[in-house]
Amino acid sequence: MDSIRTQIKAACEQAEHLIDQVKRPLKPHLPAVSRFLVVVTFFEDSFRIIFQWSDQKSYLEETRSFPSFIATLFLVANVVAMLGFSSTLIAKKHVSVAIAGLSVVMVSQALVYGLVFDLLFFLRNMSITGGLLLCLSESLLRQRKKSVFGSLPQLSEIERHMYFQLAGRVLLVLLFIGFVIHGQWSLTWAIVSLVGLAACVMVIVGFRAKWSATLLVSLLSVMNVLVNNWWSIQHSSPHRDFRKYDFFQTLSIVGGLMLLISIGPGNLSYDEKKEY
């Protein structure tokens, strides 16, 4: 039994070493790429509203029974908010304001489009919220490092960073649970689901977090291409937009996992505690 544990531990350490080697040349660019992927679904959503303006407006007026002025105001506000807040988050400017604004967008869309009780939509949005919280945690971490040289960092700032990072880890993996629930069950799917769920638990508790997050990035990327292949659907089909929407939302969760690989799981994790 001890020999098996030793072999597993050695394999994990070797995998982490390989990840560090691959990540080293990408490290300077990984946070920026991760932040872009976290908000890429908002960019896609805003461009879809712009290019399908009449369809979006008609849906709100005819199906959701909103007055024309309210429908127009809602769509304009969404486009401006998503483009503006997403851009400022990528640029690391007013990160907390940007995250609050994007969170309001997600809540308002759920209410206006009647998706409050849609489980998969809820899980996706929770995962995207996890990615946004990791962006906020990264911003607080950067501020804390700067403050160390000028004065002692405030305890509340350190605590916020830790708890945002923990909440981000927990929420981030909910999308994979949604994939498992809504997938077409088979032996292959069951194996992938079990491996992915194990990696989700490891991410949540922060055990070999970078290795498990890398595994989830790989699984989600492959599943996203196979399941949400919107490019293979005809332009005239309404399913194309739904599949495209799911594809970019999954990319946002992949971005959150990549950010977790970049900044680590934080102090409230097994990986950090074992070092003390």
Nearest to 132 by CA among 94, 180, 175, 164: 164
pLDDT band at 145 (very low <50, low <70, confident <90, very high): low
Cα–Cα distance for residue pair 117/142, rounded to 1 Å: 37
Would you say residue 51 has pLDDT above 90?
Answer: yes
Two structure tokens written together for 169: 């880890």
Mapped to the 3 state alphabet, what secondary structure does the chain carry? CHHHHHHHHHHHHHHHHHHHHHHHHHCCCHHHHHHHHHHHHHHHHHHHHHHCHHHHHHHHHHHCCCCHHHHHHHHHHHHHHHHHHHHHHHCCCCHHHHHHHHHHHHHHHHHHCCCCCCHHHHHHHHHHHHHHHHHHHHHHHHHHHHHHHHCCCCHHHHHHHHHHHHHHHHHHCHHHHHHHHHCCCCHHHHHHHHHHHHHHHHHHHCCCHHHHHHHHHHHHHHHHHHHCCHHHCCCCCCHHHHHHHHHHHHHHHHHHHHHHHHHCCCCCCHHHHCCC
Would you say residue 153 has pLDDT above 60?
Answer: no
Residues 6+ apart with CB under 8 A from 263: 31, 134, 137, 138, 141, 165
Predicted pLDDT of residue 165: 85
Angle at 54 between CA 50 and CA 57, to 5 degrees: 90
pLDDT band at 148 (very low <50, low <70, confident <90, very high): very low
Predicted pLDDT of residue 15: 58
Q: What is the mean pLDDT of the chain?
A: 82
Nearest to 80 by CA among 118, 40, 49, 37: 49
**pLDDT tens per residue, range 213-253:** 888 898 889 888 888 889 888 888 878 888 898 899 889 99
Predicted pLDDT of residue 159: 64
Cα–Cα distance for residue pair 95/92, rounded to 1 Å: 6
